[in-house]
Amino acid sequence: MISSIIISIIAGISTFQLSQLKAFGIIRSSALLSLIAYGILYLLTPNYELLSIVFFGASFVGMSCPSRMHNITVTISSIIFAIFFHYLVPLLKGYGGALGLSAFLSVAIIQLFLHLSGKLATSR
């Protein structure tokens, strides 16, 4: 679980940062970094298949809009993604549904928290 969280944070932040360069977009950033991560993980760990799937899914978190998210919120969303991924994979058929659902929920939770905390701060 700890390795999934670390991989998830690396994926989210690196995709978020690379996608802000003009030569890259969110799709190219996710694809390129996922391919690089797969190659590195293949060489370093016997658990490369699962960790490369976690990396790819967490890169969806990094595809978030920079005007709504920043490094801290992407990091927190990436941690939440890893936790959701860990618990949703056994419940859903295939990785595709678990990846997208985990990424959506992790970003939505952070956005909901930011929205509600902003409402609470202005109501005081």
Q: Is the distance from CB of 1 to CB of 82 less than 8 angstroms? A: yes
Report the 10 Å Cβ neighbour count for 23: 7
Q: Is the distance from CB of 77 to CB of 110 less than 8 angstroms? A: yes
- Whether the predicted pLDDT of 95 surpasses 70: no
Mean pLDDT check: name the lowest of 2-6, 84-88, 102-106, 120-124.
120-124
pTM: 0.85
Each residue's pLDDT tens digit, 5-54: 999 999 999 998 888 888 888 888 999 999 999 999 999 988 888 899 89
Q: What is the C-alpha to C-alpha distance for residues 12 and 87, in angstroms, rounded to an integer?
A: 19
Q: Is the distance from CB of 7 to CB of 45 less than 8 angstroms? A: no
